[in-house]
């Protein structure tokens, strides 16, 4: 049983109550507290030293990343973030400067997006820094975009360029909050997820939640300069395509719209976000799994989100 299977198993038996619109399993939980025009979004995420950042990474960037990951989940629901609470696990004795720097990075990003930091706990975690953040947001009632509502025939889009985030971008990516809200306002986005586990893995989450399959066009998948650079330096490592599919921590948006909206969306996007690439990378079909197609044929991605390139 891997992590995803375990979580899926646990998720089925978690207690719910009358306020729950969407519980565990999507990018955020959606709660109805009785506001006329809004629903509440609720999310937690953590970064751990040696797992999500290296020892010696600048504390400001660590704090920033911890919050940015949660903001990316709010973006994936087309929501607006509002307030965060922070739990810091710290080796003892901790340096007050380190804590202040973590909070400085975190607070600067919070301020940029209008997020209040309304609680901060610290505890000992003797071996490594552990930052857990919980974030509250809102979304216009009925406008939340789930993972589970992709339709056969949809076009699949992804923002930005993928792969190689570990070379640096994972510490200073921009959560796609403005882009997601613009999408939700101007188009009927059927399903959306943010890319944390890698395109192949997160697309699979979306497909499984929606009960559909997908075909990707190999040549349309946007590969980052960092992924190409890493592949050039290490010819025996991942190809840029493999990196784009499986590296993770891109924190771009993956979403689907009706095929008929694809061209109009693409044109409007270019006008509104000229600096951020948007790629139509494939389509949703009835069925299951992910097929990767180029002119020479098609291959299946395996169940763990990896393709074995030959």
Q: How far apart are CA 194 and CA 27, in angstroms?
A: 8
**Does residue 93 belong to the site contacting its own copies (CB under 8 A)?**
no
Q: How far apart are CA 93 and CA 162, in angstroms?
A: 39
Q: Which residues, including other chains, have CB under 8 Å from residue 164's CB and lie 6 or more apart?
A: 224, 225, 226, 227, 228, 229, 230, 240, 243, 247
**Does residue 55 belong to the site contacting its own copies (CB under 8 A)?**
no
Among 65, 74, 78, 87, binds its own copies (CB under 8 A): 87
- Cβ atoms < 10 Å from Cβ of 305: 20
Question: Are the C-beta atoms of 162 and 227 separated by less than 8 Å?
Answer: yes
**Does residue 19 belong to the site contacting its own copies (CB under 8 A)?**
yes
Among 72, 125, 144, 256, binds its own copies (CB under 8 A): 125
**Does residue 29 belong to the site contacting its own copies (CB under 8 A)?**
yes
**Does residue 76 belong to the site contacting its own copies (CB under 8 A)?**
no
Among 72, 107, 144, 224, binds its own copies (CB under 8 A): 107
Q: How far apart are CA 140 and CA 57, in angstroms?
A: 37
Rounded to the nearest whole angstrom, what is the least distance from the CB of residue 61 to its own copies in the complex? 18
Q: How far apart are CA 248 and CA 195, in angstroms?
A: 7
Q: In terms of CB distance, is 118 or 298 closer to its own copies?
A: 118
DSSP SS3 for 63: helix
Rounded to the nearest whole angstrom, what is the least distance from the CB of residue 79 to its own copies in the complex? 13
Question: Are the C-beta atoms of 227 and 164 separated by less than 8 Å?
Answer: yes
**Does residue 52 belong to the site contacting its own copies (CB under 8 A)?**
yes
**Does residue 46 belong to the site contacting its own copies (CB under 8 A)?**
yes
Q: In terms of CB distance, is 27 or 161 closer to its own copies?
A: 27
Q: How far apart are CA 131 and CA 47, in angstroms?
A: 5
**Does residue 166 belong to the site contacting its own copies (CB under 8 A)?**
no
Measured at the alpha carbon of residue 306, what is the angle toward residues 67 and 228, in degrees to the nearest 5?
A: 70
**Does residue 304 belong to the site contacting its own copies (CB under 8 A)?**
no
Residues that bind its own copies (CB under 8 A): 1, 3, 6-7, 9-11, 13-17, 19-20, 23-24, 28-29, 31, 33-35, 38, 40, 42-48, 50-52, 82-83, 85-87, 89, 96, 99-100, 103, 107, 110-111, 114-128, 130, 132, 134, 136, 138
């Amino acid at each position: 049983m891997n992590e995803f299977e375990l979580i899926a198993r646990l998720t089925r038996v978690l207690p719910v109550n009358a306020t729950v619109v969407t519980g565990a399993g999507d990018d955020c939980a959606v709660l109805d507290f009785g506001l006329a025009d809004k629903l509440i979004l609720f999310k937690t995420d953590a970064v751990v030293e040696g797992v999500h950042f290296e020892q010696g990474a600048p504390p400001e960037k660590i704090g920033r990343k911890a919050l940015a990951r949660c903001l990316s989940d709010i973006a994936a629901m087309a929501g607006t973030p509002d307030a965060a609470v922070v739990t810091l696990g710290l080796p003892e004795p901790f340096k007050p400067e380190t804590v202040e720097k973590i909070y400085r990075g975190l607070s600067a990003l919070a301020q940029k997006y209008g997020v209040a930091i309304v609680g901060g706990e610290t505890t000992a975690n003797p071996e490594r820094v552990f930052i857990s953040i919980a974030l509250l947001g809102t979304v216009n009632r009925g406008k939340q975009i789930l993972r589970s509502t992709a339709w056969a025939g949809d076009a699949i889009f992804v923002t930005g360029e993928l792969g190689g985030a570990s070379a640096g971008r994972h510490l200073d990516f921009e959560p796609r909050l403005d882009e997601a809200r613009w999408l939700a306002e101007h188009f009927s986005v059927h399903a959306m997820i943010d890319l944390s586990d890698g395109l192949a893995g997160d697309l699979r989450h979306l497909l499984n939640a929606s009960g559909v399959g997908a075909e990707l066009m190999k040549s349309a998948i946007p590969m980052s300069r960092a992924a190409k650079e890493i592949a050039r330096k290490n010819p025996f490592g991942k190809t840029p395509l493999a990196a784009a599919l499986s590296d993770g921590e891109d924190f771009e948006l993956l979403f689907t719209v009706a095929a008929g909206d694809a061209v109009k969306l693409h044109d409007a996007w270019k006008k509104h976000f000229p600096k951020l690439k948007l790629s139509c990378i494939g389509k949703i079909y009835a069925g299951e799994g992910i097929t990767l197609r180029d002119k020479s044929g098609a291959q299946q991605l395996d169940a763990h989100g990896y393709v074995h390139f030959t």
